[in-house]
Amino acid sequence: MHEAAGPGEVINRFKQVSITPVGPLVFHLTYALLQLLRKRNSGQSAMGGLVRALLRGLAYY
């Protein structure tokens, strides 16, 4: 597992993959993982956030 990336690192990663068809999905998966790591600390439902982000990512197709 990688360390939690800063916003700039996530944006750079998104720019690298955005030229591929799976770019949006990869971006949303990365974002979902970051949200999951944050919510685990605050005790909220991390799985619910992950599912919502996955659905949002799949909505691009």
Of 17 and 38, the structure prediction assigns the larger pLDDT to 38
What confidence category does residue 36 fall into, taking pLDDT thresholds of 50, 70 and 90? confident
Crossing angle of the two packed helices 23-42 and 7-17, in degrees rounded to 10: 160
DSSP 61: -
Mean of the pLDDT values across residues 52-56? 75
Max alpha carbon distance in the chain (Å)?
A: 36
Global pTM reads: 0.33
CB atoms within 10 A of CB 30: 19
